[in-house]
C-alpha cells in the first residue's frame, strides 16, 4: 500500500499549528520508547511479584489484572513507537508499506486494553470506597470469586465496545458511510461518554477515600498517643492496630492509583469532547495539527499511567516491597 491510498493531496504543514505539531512530535517520539521500555519491565516485575505473593484476595486479583492489561497495552504500542523512532532517526528509510498501516492496525486493539485497565481501576476504586465507607455492608461482598467474575466481565465489555471500530477500520483518509457512522459512535460512546463516566466515578471515589483517610489518620494519631492500661487490652489493641494499619495502606494504594488515573485522563477527556462539537478539530481537517498535539501529549500520559504504578506498589505494599527486594538479592 503506498501513500496515495491514504491521502494524495494532504499537506498538514500548510495548516495552523504545524510548528507546534512538529515540536511536540520531535519531543514525544524520543520520550515514548523510554516510557514504554520502562513500563514493560515494570509491569513484568509487578506480575512476577503478585504471582510470588499469591493472588489470594480481591485487591491482589485486581492489581494483577491491571498489570497484565497495562503490559498488553504497552506491548501493542511498541511496534508503532518503534517505527516512529525510525522515522525520526532516518526519515528516508525505504518502507515496504506505509507506516500508517502499523499505527492503524494496532491502535484500537492496544486501546482496548487501556479501556480494560480503566475499568479495572474504577472497579478497584469503587470496591475499596464501598469497603471503607460502609465496611459492615460490603466487607464480605467483594469475594475472590466475585472479583474474578467481575474482571472477566469488564474485559468482555471492553472488547465488545471496541469491536465495531476494529472491524470497520480503514487505512484510507476518506471513509464510507458505515465507517463514518461507526467512528461517530466510537467517538461519542468510547471516547466521551464512558471515559467521562469513569472519570466522575473515580473523582467521587477519591473524595470519599480522602475523607476516610483523614479520619483514619486522626484515629491512628489518638491511638498512638493513648497509654495502654491493661496487658490484654494492649495486646488486643496492637492486633487491631496492625489490621487497621494494613487496611489504611491498602486504601492509600488504591487512592493513589485512582489519582494517577484521573490526572492521566483529563487532557484526553477535554480534547475528545471538543472533537465531537467542533467539526474542524479532527484528522485531515483544519485543526488537524492541533488535534495531533493534544493526542500526542494525551498518549504520553496514557503510557505513563500504564507504567508508574510500580512506585505505588513498592511504597504502599510491604509484601510487594519485600518480595521485590528479595528478587534483587544474588542467590
For position 140, what pLDDT does the model report? 82
The pLDDT-based confidence of 234 (bands split at 50, 70, 90) is very low
pLDDT tens readout for residues 204-226: 999 999 888 888 777 666 655 55
Find where cell 475528545 sits: 272
pTM (two decimals): 0.86
Other CB atoms within a 10 A radius of the CB of residue 322 amount to 12
Distance (Å) of CA 103 to CA 70, 74, 263? 18, 13, 25
pLDDT tens readout for residues 170-189: 766 566 788 888 888 998 89
- The whole-angstrom separation of Cα 21 and Cα 3 is 20
Rg for the chain (alpha carbons), in Å? Answer: 23
pLDDT of 1 strictly over 70: no
Closest CA to 114 of 62, 153, 74: 74
pLDDT tens readout for residues 260-315: 999 999 999 999 889 888 888 988 888 989 999 999 999 999 999 999 999 999 99
Domain ranges of the chain: 16-221+234-328
pLDDT of 97 strictly over 80: no
Find where cell 492496525 sits: 105
pLDDT tens readout for residues 127-171: 998 888 887 788 788 889 999 999 999 999 999 999 999 988 776
Average model confidence (pLDDT) across the chain = 85
Q: Span 16-221+234-328: which CATH code?
A: 1.20.1070.10
- The whole-angstrom separation of Cα 143 and Cα 68 is 20
Distance (Å) of CA 283 to CA 17, 37, 110, 176? 13, 29, 20, 15
248 alpha carbon, distance to own chain's centre: 23
The contacts of residue 27 (CB under 8 Å, 6+ apart) are none
More confident residue, 226 or 6: 226
Amino acid at each position: 500500500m503506498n501513500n496515495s491510498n491514504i491521502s494524495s493531496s494532504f499537506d498538514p504543514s500548510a495548516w495552523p499549528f504545524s510548528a507546534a505539531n512538529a515540536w511536540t512530535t520531535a519531543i514525544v517520539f524520543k520520550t515514548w520508547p523510554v516510557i514504554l521500555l520502562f513500563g514493560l519491565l515494570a509491569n513484568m516485575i509487578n506480575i512476577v511479584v503478585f504471582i510470588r505473593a499469591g493472588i489470594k484476595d480481591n485487591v491482589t486479583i485486581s492489581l494483577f489484572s491491571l498489570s497484565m492489561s497495562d503490559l498488553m497495552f504497552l506491548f501493542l504500542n511498541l511496534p508503532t513507537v518503534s517505527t516512529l523512532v525510525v522515522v525520526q532517526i532516518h526519515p528516508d528509510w525505504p518502507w515496504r508499506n506505509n507506516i500508517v498501516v502499523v499505527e492503524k492496525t494496532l491502535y484500537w486493539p492496544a486501546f482496548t486494553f487501556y479501556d480494560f485497565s480503566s475499568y479495572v481501576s474504577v472497579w478497584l476504586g469503587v470496591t475499596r470506597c464501598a469497603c471503607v465507607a460502609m465496611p459492615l455492608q460490603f466487607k464480605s461482598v467483594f469475594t475472590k470469586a466475585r472479583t474474578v467474575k467481575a474482571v472477566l466481565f469488564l474485559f468482555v465489555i471492553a472488547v465488545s465496545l471496541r469491536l465495531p471500530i476494529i472491524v470497520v477500520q480503514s487505512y484510507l483518509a476518506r471513509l464510507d458511510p458505515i465507517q463514518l457512522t461507526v467512528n461517530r459512535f466510537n467517538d461519542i460512546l468510547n471516547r466521551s461518554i464512558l471515559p467521562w463516566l469513569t472519570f466522575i466515578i473515580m473523582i467521587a471515589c477519591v473524595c470519599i477515600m480522602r475523607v476516610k483517610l483523614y479520619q483514619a489518620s486522626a484515629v491512628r494519631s489518638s491511638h498512638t498517643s493513648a497509654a495502654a492500661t491493661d496487658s490484654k487490652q494492649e495486646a488486643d489493641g496492637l492486633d487491631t492496630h496492625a489490621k487497621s494499619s494494613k487496611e489504611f495502606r491498602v486504601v492509600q494504594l488504591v487512592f493513589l492509583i485512582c489519582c494517577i488515573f484521573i490526572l492521566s485522563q483529563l487532557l484526553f477527556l477535554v480534547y475528545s469532547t471538543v472533537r465531537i462539537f467542533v467539526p474542524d478539530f479532527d484528522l485531515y481537517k483544519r485543526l488537524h495539527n492541533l488535534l495531533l498535539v493534544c493526542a500526542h501529549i494525551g498518549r504520553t500520559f496514557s503510557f505513563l499511567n500504564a507504567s508508574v504504578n510500580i512506585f505505588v506498589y513498592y511504597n504502599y505494599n510491604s509484601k510487594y516491597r519485600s518480595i521485590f527486594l528479595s528478587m534483587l538479592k544474588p542467590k
